[in-house]
Structure 1
Amino acid sequence: MLYFQAAAVLILTSAFRHVETSDQSFALCDGQKGFIRCIKGTQIQILSANYGRTDEHVCPTGNIKTRTCRSKTSEIKTKWNCNGYRTCHIHAAVQHFGDPCPNHSKYLEVNYRCVKKRDTFPKGQIIAFNAYNTKSLHLNKGSPVNVVYDGVYYNHGNAYNKHTGVFTAPSDGLYLFSWSSCVAPNKAFDVEILLNGQRKGIGNCNNEGSKGYENCSNTFPLVLRSGDKVNIRTVYGNYLHGGGWSNFSGWKV
């Protein structure tokens, strides 16, 4: 175990080859500041952290007669502050972690590693949209129509067409689609989700006979091939509330 007595400490990882298997530990005495820095292409993963005292040989000044002093928040706060970053600043202080053992000398002990950075969403591969109807739709119950959600919050991948209401899969894979419908009193909006014109699911939002507004949501997974088209079509409906209260969204898993 290493311990430091300088006012500020730099914890700098070496350019080791197998960064995913090399764990490193250090301690900052109470009041000290320092930071962890991983090499380019890697990020910090905190394995454990404790502010308190479990060893009389670390930062051996003041009252060190305890080996069971542990802050209940130090590990989760250190992970929140450092995990996923290449550099993270640390301050061993009561104001950050509380005082788990008053009148005793404390230190912050951290065990960490640098792991290869993995992009959750590789650049250029995000496929997701969230659309809504800007105005309320007044429809004929007996005439099924394709619903066009003409407003767009975001459209990563540009796969959704706000003019037709149709999503076109840019690549093979598993997709999730969800829609939320706000329906006025004594109105209905029962719809189906279509894949290349064929029903793959149905959602009921019949509010006839009710004096208040109703909100209904549905979610369906679909396995798509590149070029497949997905959209929402009414089955039995005469009204859909607009202004962002109703929406249609989808994303590739």
Structure 2
Amino acid sequence: HKTPSLGLEVVSVYLICQSGDISISTCAKYGRSDRTTCSEGIPDYQTKNTDCAMSADLVFLRCDGESECPFFVSSSVLGDPCVGTFKYLEVKYVCYSSLVTCEGSISHIQCENGVIYVSSAKYGRRDRRTCSTGITDDQRRRTNCSTRANYVFRSCHGKSECSILVSSSVFGDPCIGTYKYLEVNYRCQR
């Protein structure tokens, strides 16, 4: 998504994922790296400097992991890498869905149109709130005990659907005596 912005002008962009969360796939850039992008109606002297794009880390910090993200594009917000040049913001992102399944349940992932692309999968416990209903405090006290769930990658990646029993017998036990859960971030890819 490329959005034009000239230092004094403020343009609002709205990144959104209808289902899932925003994942910035490459670094967001603000400035100008070519003469043709966002150049219609712009004087030639304002598109001449094409070596002035800088990383827009603020976009990543504000938007990555959110389902929607309104953002103001201007030099006062992002900095001005090239005064007098008509600039644009370039952000490449994908939308990932998240699925959390409690221990002892079946995790089911399905893509109606396409195949499953697993971005991350962890089994264990990373906080006290997730999957905590009816679970004693002792069983959720330990929160830094998750491990990469490679079985999800092998079983689901590239398929249109998969079902997995969420259990230490499948994933191993990263924290004995702790009630665990499976967290999967994925997207449906055509």
TM-score of the aligned structures, taking structure 2 as reference length? 0.51
Q: Distance in 2 between matches of 1:50 and 1:127?
A: 32
> Does the CA contact (< 8 Å) of 2:102 and 2:180 recur in 1?
no
Residue 54 of structure 1, aligned match among 33, 49, 52: 33
- Counterpart amino acid of 2:31? G
Q: Count residues in correspondence.
A: 116
> Does the CA contact (< 8 Å) of 1:69 and 1:101 recur in 2?
yes
Question: Alpha-carbon deviations, 1:74-98, whole Å to 9, x = none?
Answer: 0x21111111111111221112210
Q: Distance in 2 between matches of 1:112 and 1:52?
A: 18
In structure 2, the residue matched to 1:83 is 64
Pairwise CA distance, 1:128: 6.4
**Is 1:38 matched up with 2:17?**
yes
**Is 1:106 matched up with 2:94?**
no
> Does the CA contact (< 8 Å) of 2:30 and 2:90 recur in 1?
yes
In structure 1, the residue matched to 2:53 is 70
More strand by proportion, 1 or 2? 1
Pairwise CA distance, 1:53: 0.3
Pairwise CA distance, 1:110: 1.3
- Relative distance call for 1:95 and 1:127 in structure 2 (3 A) is closer
Question: Alpha-carbon deviations, 1:158-216, whole Å to 9, x = none?
Answer: 2429xxxxxxxxx85222xxxxxxxxxxxxxxxxxxxxxxxxxxxxxxxxxxxxxxxxx
Q: Bigger relative contact order, structure 1 or 2, given CA contacts below 8 A and separation 6+? A: 2
Q: Secondary structure at the match of 1:95?
A: helix
Q: Distance in 2 between matches of 1:116 and 1:128?
A: 19
Pairwise CA distance, 1:251: 8.5
Question: Alpha-carbon deviations, 1:135-167, whole Å to 9, x = none?
Answer: xxxxxxxxxxxxxxxxxxxxx532429xxxxxx
- Counterpart amino acid of 2:54? S
TM-score of the aligned structures, taking structure 1 as reference length? 0.39
The percent of aligned pairs where both chains have the same amino acid is 23
- Counterpart amino acid of 1:27? K
Greater C-alpha Rg: 1
* Unaligned segments of structure 1, at least 5 residues: 1-25, 130-155, 162-170, 176-223, 227-249
* Unaligned segments of structure 2, at least 5 residues: 104-123, 140-166, 182-190
Q: Aligned ranges for residues 215-226 of structure 1 at < 5 Å? A: 224=176
> Does the CA contact (< 8 Å) of 1:43 and 1:83 recur in 2?
yes
- Counterpart amino acid of 2:37? V
Q: Distance in 1 between matches of 2:71 and 2:88?
A: 12
How well do the aligned residues superpose, as a CA RMSD in angstroms?
3.0
Q: Secondary structure at the match of 1:67?
A: coil
